[in-house]
Structure 1
């Protein structure tokens, strides 16, 4: 990030990071601790290597990462990872081809070291230890809701059904009550997902099985809009590529660090910080050893939901 963004970021975190000097040593400045944490999060470097860069011990690097991550989640998470102007989001997805859409949701696995407690629960379908980040993004790829901390063995649907977001969507309190009518069918604001979730009035997913031209077109429009969540995860991990190596943190610290990286993603994107091509090249190299698990397709649908999807689908040509 640019110096101006870094200085502003340090000012935001300063209330939670100020330390007093002791008789034994002078406390690290807020700026140095933030710089150490950002360097560690943004690179695959070891604690020892980062410590050498800043002239501190590896334990100091580890402490800085946890302190800064805690400060980010305490002071900025609810302010930065939040739903903003819904109409702008709906218009943004509408311009890409999907009506009355408020976001795209998906999950991604973050590799971790095998925890001492209930380690088998963290082994995902690809056979490595992971923790799941499930996120909703807007039309620009900014995170508007995140749910992190579930073991890699748990199916995406279970994670979603046990989230605060699911509860709000079911109750109709997450988005404003803004319905449109398509072919005599009322459609609320929806979110988009792949076939791993059940079809619901507020959750659209692609058709599976044999497809006619109208279903293929529907799937194309949905997939085009859903690319934004895949790009968001890609940018998140490429910019903060410590998420691409096995996080060697405690089970309780890992969700905090992942959430902090999501906040940093939103801040960098909203500030227009450049995304370097070299980061994606490095990310592709690092991710090669940890491919994302496939999720099982769910074929359930709530009563009446099929009518909404059929209404959105472009009619087959005569």
Structure 2
């Protein structure tokens, strides 16, 4: 990640992740974002991050979940707005101009992300290839920029099933 990007994100989320306490020294917003970026870029275990940053692993978990939520809340509307008709029309023109692919508004695909089987879910998350998963489905424009992301569908669902139950599909249908 470029340092300018790091500072841009930090300046946007600082007021929401900054903590005040009279009892102990708080973990700074800069360090909170650093831990989160490290986790997202490497997938390191919370215990390894705890050792690297000298922060308890359960605190690391809370920091990462909170920071990811705040990043999404602060930046999703600006950087990944819900696709409008105008945006999809522009995307269709770009596909035709760049790739000579008419009547295409986006490329869409799903990825099964392995998980441990959640309790009391039965076979909802069981993927036919023999592991438990959730589905991450993304849609990109002609320049490979994300237009839409849907995460959390059950692993047993097909790509078309995930798309037909997504917010984007429901919006297109209406």
| TM-score normalised according to structure 2 size | 0.88
Q: Distance in 1 between matches of 2:43 and 2:79?
A: 25
**1:126-153: CA deviation from partner (whole Å, max 9, x where unpaired):** 1111101122111122211122111101
Corresponding position of 1:168: 171
- Structure 1 unaligned runs (5+)? 172-318
Aligned length: 170
The CA deviation at 1:80 is 1.8
User: Partners of 2:151 and 2:43 in 1: how far apart?
Assistant: 21
Question: What's the counterpart of residue 91 of structure 1?
Answer: 93
Instruction: State the 1:36 CA deviation.
Output: 0.3
Match of 1:152 in 2: 155
- RMSD value, Cα: 1.8
Structure-2 separation of matches of 1:46 and 1:164 = 32
Helix, strand or coil at the partner of 1:39: helix
Cα deviation, 1:194-234, whole Å, max 9, x if unaligned, reads xxxxxxxxxxxxxxxxxxxxxxxxxxxxxxxxxxxxxxxxx
Query: Does the 8 Å contact 2:9/2:71 carry over to 1?
Result: no
The residue number in structure 2 matching 1:15 is: 15
Q: Per-residue deviation at 1:86?
A: 4.3
Larger Rg: 1
Unaligned runs of 5+ in 2: none
Q: 1:90, CA displacement in angstroms? A: 2.6
Q: CA deviation at 1:32?
A: 0.3
Alignment of 1:19-58 (within 5 A): 19-23=19-23, 25-58=24-57
Displacement, 1:92?
Answer: 2.6
Superposition map of 1:1-318 within 5 A:
1-23=1-23, 25-82=24-81, 83=83, 85-86=87-88, 88-94=90-96, 95-171=98-174
Taking the aligned partners of 2:31 and 2:166, their CA distance within structure 1 comes to 36
Kindly state the Cα deviation for residue 66 of structure 1 after the two structures are TM-superposed.
0.5
Higher relative contact order (CA 8 A, sep 6+): 1
Look up the match of 1:241: none
Contact 2:95 2:104 (8 Å CA) reproduced: yes
> Which has more strand, going by share of residues?
2
